[in-house]
C-alpha cells in the first residue's frame, strides 16, 4: 500500500499510515532520498546515526524518534527516520513520477467523484476522452468477446485494459477511467465519440 511516497513493506506501527500522506511529510520523504547527509545504519538495533549540519555533532535516529530539531519541533517522521525506514526495508520510498503529486491526485479524484453521477463530463475526464480519440491512442489489439484490449505505453510493458480497469499509471494513481479505458469503450461502441482515424 502506498502512503505518500512510502510503499509500506513491513508493519510500521509507530505511525498512523495516513501521517505519510501529508504534503509536509512527502517533502521529507523526498529529502530522505536526495539530501546529502552521510549515515551509518545499525541493522540489528534498527537505529542510525546521521551527519548533522547544525550545532549537534550528529543525529541519533530510530524508527519512532530522532534527535534532530525537525523531530523535536514536529514530533513527526523527519527525513532521517524516513531514510532509516527505507534502509531497513520497512518502507520503500518510491521515485516521484513527474505530474503525479500523490496528494494532488487524491484531491482531484475526490473532487471528480463528488461532482456527481456524470464523471465523464468533468474537465479532467473530458481531456482523457479527447486523448482517447487520437490515433496515437489506437490499441495494439482488442478482444471484443472479453471486452479487453492491449495498448502500447511509454514503458516496456504494454497496458492491459478492460472497460473499467487499466494497468497504466494514470489509472493506478486515480482509479478513474484513463484514456485507454475510454478508447476501449469507444471501440466497443459502449460510449459515444469516434476515434479520429475512424471518422
Ligand atoms: Zn531527524
Ligand atoms: Zn490506461
pLDDT of residue 1: 78
Provide the β-strand partners of residue 74: none
- Around ion ligand 2, residues with a beta carbon closer than 5 Å are 166, 168, 171, 178, 180
Distance of CA 17 from the midpoint of ligand 1 (Å): 18
Domain boundary assignment for the chain: 2-93, 116-191
Distance (Å, rounded) from C-alpha 193 to C-alpha 83? 48
Sequence-distant (6+) residues with CB within 8 A of 126 are 120
Q: What is the distance of C-alpha 49 from the center of its chain? A: 29
Look at residue 199 in the predicted model and tell me its pLDDT.
58
Q: Rounded to the nearest whole angstrom, what is the distance from the C-alpha of residue 9 to the centroid of ligand 2?
A: 26
Cα 143 to middle of ligand 2, angstroms: 16
> Looking at the whole model, is its pTM more than 0.85?
no
Residues 6+ apart with CB under 8 A from 52: 58, 59, 68
Neighbours of 163 (CB within 10 A): 16
Q: Rounded to the nearest whole angstrom, what is the distance from the C-alpha of residue 98 to the centroid of ligand 1?
A: 27
The residues of the chain scoring below 70 in pLDDT are 96-102, 198-199
Where does residue 31 rank: exposed (0-12), middle (13-18), buried (19+ CB within 10 A)? middle
Taking the CA of 152 as reference, the closest ligand is: 2
The pLDDT of residue 115 is: 76
Amino acid at each position: 500500500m502506498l502512503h505518500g511516497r512510502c510503499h509500506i513493506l513491513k508493519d510500521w506501527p509507530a505511525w498512523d499510515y495516513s501521517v505519510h500522506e501529508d504534503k509536509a511529510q512527502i517533502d521529507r520523504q523526498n529529502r530522505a532520498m536526495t539530501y546529502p547527509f552521510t549515515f551509518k545504519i545499525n541493522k540489528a538495533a534498527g537505529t542510525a546515526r546521521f551527519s548533522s549540519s547544525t550545532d549537534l555533532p550528529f543525529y541519533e535516529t530510530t524508527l519512532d524518534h530522532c534527535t534532530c530539531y525537525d523531530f523535536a519541533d514536529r514530533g513527526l517522521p523527519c527525513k532521517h527516520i524516513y531514510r532509516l525506514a527505507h534502509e531497513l526495508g520497512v518502507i520503500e520510498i518510491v521515485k516521484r513520477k513527474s505530474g503525479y503529486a500523490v496528494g494532488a491526485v487524491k484531491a482531484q479524484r475526490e473532487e471528480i467523484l463528488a461532482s456527481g453521477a456524470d464523471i465523464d463530463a468533468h474537465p479532467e475526464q473530458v481531456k482523457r476522452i479527447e486523448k482517447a480519440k487520437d490515433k496515437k491512442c489506437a490499441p495494439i489489439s482488442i478482444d471484443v468477446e472479453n471486452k479487453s484490449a492491449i495498448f502500447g505505453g511509454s514503458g516496456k510493458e504494454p497496458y492491459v485494459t478492460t472497460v473499467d480497469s487499466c494497468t497504466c499509471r494514470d489509472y493506478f494513481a486515480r482509479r478513474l477511467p484513463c484514456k485507454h479505458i475510454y478508447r476501449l469503450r469507444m471501440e466497443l461502441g459502449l460510449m459515444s465519440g469516434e476515434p479520429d482515424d475512424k471518422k
